[in-house]
Structures are given as C-alpha cells and as structure tokens.
Structure 1
Amino acid sequence: MQNISSSVNTYYLNCNGRMVDLSSPKIMGILNLTPDSFSDGGKFNNGKSALKHAEQLIQEGAEIIDIGPQSTRPNAEFLSSEEEVERIGDMISLIKKEFPEILISLDTFYAETVKFGYNEGIDIINDISGGQFDDKMFETATETKLPYILMHVNPSYETMHDKIKFQDITLSVNQYFFEKTKELLEKGVNDIILDPGFGFGKTVEDQMKMIDEVKYLGFGKFPLLIGISRKSFIYKPLGKSPLDINEETQKLHMKVLKQGAKILRVHDVAEAKKTLEEFLK
C-alpha cells in the first residue's frame, strides 16, 4: 500500500490492523531457529536462547523479528512444514507476549506453516519462493490479509541456488516482480514488499549491479527489502568469512538506503542501526 506525495513514496503496511509507516526505514533482525544456518547455525535453536536473542535484537534496534525455522543456504537440510512447525513451537507467542509491540515475520515457503504462524500471531509473511514452492501460498496470503514479502528466486527448491547469468538482471527481476505482483493484487493481496533475492542464483557481478540499481527495482510501487547480511557475494571475493565483512556490508546498506530501500534484513542489528541513524541525519 502506498501514498505518493511530492514525488516521494511513503508506504504503509497493514499488519493485523496495525498501520506501519515505512517513511523511516526499518531494521529486520534475523532469528534463525536452525541447527545448520551458514553463519549462526545452532546458536538460537532452543526456546530460551532464541527468546534471549530476540530480546537482544530488539534492544539493538530491530522493529521486525524474522523467524526462520529452515535454512535455505546451499545443501541445507530440507524440512517439511510439519517439521518447521515443530521447530517453531511456541516461539512466536512467547515473543509476542514478551514484546507485544514488535512485528514478527515468518520465513517459510509453506502455506501450512504460514497458517500456523498466523494463528500464533505473526504480522508478515516472508516467502523466499515467490509462491513457486507451494501452490497454496498466494491463496493463504489472501486469506490471512498479512503483508507478503515477494522474493525473486529461481522457480524450484532444487534450482534456487543455480547460478544464472542474466542478460540484464534488473530487467529480469522487474519482469518477475511485475508478473507476480499482478497475480497477488488480483487475488487481493495489497500489502506487498519486494526482495530482489540477494544470494539466490545470481553471480557476484549481477548482485553488485543490483546494488547499484536498487532505485530501479520494483518501479517505485512497493517498498523494498534488502537482505545482504553475511552473503557470499560480499565476503568470497574479499577472501573473508561471513562474520568479518561488517564494514563492507554497512557501506552497501548506506548505498541502498540512499536509493530508497525501506527494510534491511540483518544479523548485526546494532551495526545496521548506526548506519540507519547516519542515513537519517
């Protein structure tokens, strides 16, 4: 949902009846409940440590907590929806009880997991598959009326990390966004957030090109989420580890904020918060 005033886009999200203003960008803190995530696997996959980490993310400045029950890194363990739900347990309701003002997004490509999360109190659907891994996802997004994060990705779970050299990455991503948002809008999903899909099936060169051309992604009609935290297109060319690229990542965060990015999905909330504060000066 958007209002356009003086050629500047101001976006609002309807999160379970709560209107969220994105005129000031938000930080989404990542809470992985997975034993095999590439950079923090196993650290927060029990209730006590997960809740403690959520509290830390919130204290550092996250306004959205993105709960991920399944790793989508290359060669990760594949879980069913039932296994995702078991792994989530009562984490959503626990966080909501402790921090009622915080927004919770659920990172899943399963409609059934979304339904579970909706009943537990999630505010946003974060689907890396663009509805391509579960043909009930768009229908479920319509039923819940929750904001939906639409990510650009290859068309199947098996191929999502296959590197494709696009003739024009920005044009290809926008074509995908155009087709998918048209379908979502026709189904009645009005609150859509666009994620270009950094780290999924794209070359280093194409991802750097996307960083440079963020302002052209999504036609200015929808808010953009940028998720580049600890991604290999940053650390591999530098010969560094995912945990040693904070300075480089914050420079890229500043670059995308200047081009209109509205949500930063990050592991290191405190550092991203400093970047956001600098941007807002």
Structure 2
Amino acid sequence: MSANNVLLSPFNTFQNFHSINCNGRLVDLSSPQLMGILNLTPDSFSDGGKFNDEKSALQHAEKLLKDGASIIDIGPQSTRPNAEFLSSEEEVRRLGNIISSIKKELPEALISLDTFYAETVKFGFNEGIDIVNDISGGQFDENMLDAVAETNLPYILMHVNPSYQTMHEITSFADITLTVNQYFSKKTDELLKKGIKDIILDPGFGFGKTVEDQMKMIDEAEFFGFGSFPLLIGISRKSFIYKPLGKSALNINEETQKLHLKVLHQGAKILRVHDVAEAKKTIDEFLNT
C-alpha cells in the first residue's frame, strides 16, 4: 500500500489545529512545540550520567526551557540497544524528588514521564507530571493503560515491536507507513475505549526499523494517523541519520534540522529533541515560511 492509497482512506481527517489537556491546562498545538529530553540515566547513548542528580537535572530543565522547550521529557531508564533493564522500583528511586522539584521551581514547564511501567506512572502522577510517554504502547506492562486512564493525562503512543526483548529487532516491512497506521488504528481504538482521549502519535524512529524504512517514514510523515491525532517526531541523535554518514550522534545537527523542517511541513506538532536551541531555530524558520 503506497502513500497515495493512504490518502484515499475514509478516516483521512487532516486537521491543522490540535490541543491537549494537561492536568486542566489546555496546550495549543496550532504552532509546533518542543519537547526537551532530560535523561536521568547513567547509560543513555549520548548524555548518560550528565543529569542524574536533582541539582543537575533542575539546571538542565531550566536550560531546556530557556532554549525554547515547553515540555520536559524525563527518562529514568535508557531504551537504547543493550541498555540495562530496570524495574519500576529502580525508576522511582532514580526519579526521587526531581519531578516535584522542577514543578516547584519551573511551574511553567510541562513534564512528560518516559516510562512503560504502570507503577512509575502512578508515582509520577502524584509528583505532578502532565503527559505519559510510553514507548511500549502498553505492551510491556499489562496494567499500563489502565493506570494512564486513571490519571486522565495525555498519552504518547509509540509504534514498537511487541516486547522489551524484541523492541530493537530490525524488521523490514512491506510498507512501513501502512504497518504503523494499522498499529495506530488498533491501539487508538483500545485507548479511546479505556477513556484515554488525548493521544499523541509517535512512529517510533530508532526502534526495530531499517534505515530505508525510517527515511520513508520521514517522507510520508503526513499520513501517520490520518491527521486525527497530533504527531510527535523523535529523531534526535538517532543512528539511522548518523551511521550512514559515518558521523557521531553529536555531529549531525545540520542533517537533523533539515529532517525536522521536512516533517514540520507535513504537520508534525511536537519535536522531541536534545538540542532545543537548534530545533527552535528550525521551528522559527518553518513558521516564517
């Protein structure tokens, strides 16, 4: 199935405006938003160990906001290939008071919690998070989606292989856009039935897809979810960009911003990034075209 076939879908209801309800705060997505990454992990592939205490995490969150982020995505567990697998208890230990400290010192910040555990979501909700960012689509913890529904928070739904053990197994799909949309169709129906209404779609760059398929995902970003839900793109420092170029994760800003601009022109509403200041320039360029 080609992108042209996707256009013919009766569910194609492309919208230029979206908003999400974050704990009673209505967030306007008519202009693209930046999600700055705050990793609390010692083993993340590009910034492991830099921000895994309360003081440095708070300082980095403040910098992300000053650079132009409106959302801080806090990740207590690395999900790169061969990363250490942590329990929910260890995630909560790493989080400590960081969420509540950021909410206290930087009340304008929206906080997204990157976890696939129900118990971590419950902890984060009590600490004041505004969004749940789940790479697993509820597949790694059978209680996850019920926990999200109880919070009434927006939910980021990512396309991924069905288990933690297989999430990075490379699969070549006959049509990646069709495959991801079939997944989104099934999962959004499940989420809506549970009462989760504020859904953000993430196609899952860096998770079990070939370089070719990921470049196709960039080219066909406008078709994901048929425009019915806001689209988040997370390509920052991903290997499908830097490995073919023979570069490092920290040396592909120019190439990344070109891809960011491309997906923005296709309706992407949130960019999840490490380099907020550079992505802010790209959004400004997009808004001025």
Q: TM-score range by the shorter chain?
A: over 0.9
Q: Please point out which of 265, 277, 280 is paired with 2:284.
A: 277
Q: Please point out which of 107, 112, 120 is paired with 2:127.
A: 120
Offset of 1:8 from its aligned partner? Answer: 3.8
Q: Secondary structure at the match of 1:211?
A: helix
- Cα-to-partner distance string for 1:6-26 (whole Å, 9 max, x where unaligned): 964311101001111100110
Q: Secondary structure at the match of 2:101?
A: helix
**Residue segments in structure 1 that go unaligned for 5+ positions in a row:** 1-5
Give the 5 Å matches for 1:1-281. 8-281=15-288
Which TM-score applies when normalising by structure 1? Answer: 0.97
- Work out the CA distance in 1 between the residues paired with 2:153 and 2:194: 13
| Contact kept in structure 1, 2:14 and 2:227, CA below 8 Å | no
Offset of 1:141 from its aligned partner? Answer: 1.2
Offset of 1:263 from its aligned partner? Answer: 0.2
The residue identity in structure 2 corresponding to 1:41 is G
The residue identity in structure 1 corresponding to 2:249 is P
Q: Secondary structure at the match of 2:27?
A: strand
- Work out the CA distance in 1 between the residues paired with 2:147 and 2:91: 17
- Work out the CA distance in 2 between the residues paired with 1:12 and 1:279: 19
Q: Secondary structure at the match of 1:122?
A: coil
- Work out the CA distance in 2 between the residues paired with 1:101 and 1:135: 33
Offset of 1:58 from its aligned partner? Answer: 0.6
Offset of 1:113 from its aligned partner? Answer: 0.1
Offset of 1:47 from its aligned partner? Answer: 1.1
The residue identity in structure 1 corresponding to 2:199 is I
- Cα-to-partner distance string for 1:207-227 (whole Å, 9 max, x where unaligned): 000000000111110000000
The residue identity in structure 2 corresponding to 1:250 is Q
Sequence identity (%): 78
- Cα-to-partner distance string for 1:93-125 (whole Å, 9 max, x where unaligned): 000001111100000000000000000000000
Which TM-score applies when normalising by structure 2? Answer: 0.95
More displaced 10-residue stretch of structure 1: 63-72 or 93-102: 93-102
- Tell me what 1:3 maps to: none
- Work out the CA distance in 1 between the residues paired with 2:14 and 2:205: 28
Q: Secondary structure at the match of 1:242?
A: coil
Alignment RMSD, CA only? 0.9
- Tell me what 2:5 maps to: none
- Work out the CA distance in 2 between the residues paired with 1:46 and 1:120: 17
- Work out the CA distance in 2 between the residues paired with 1:23 and 1:230: 26
- Work out the CA distance in 2 between the residues paired with 1:43 and 1:272: 21
The residue identity in structure 1 corresponding to 2:112 is S
- Work out the CA distance in 2 between the residues paired with 1:177 and 1:231: 22
Q: Secondary structure at the match of 1:9?
A: coil
- Work out the CA distance in 1 between the residues paired with 2:216 and 2:185: 20
- Cα-to-partner distance string for 1:213-270 (whole Å, 9 max, x where unaligned): 0001111100000000000000000000000000000000000000000000000000
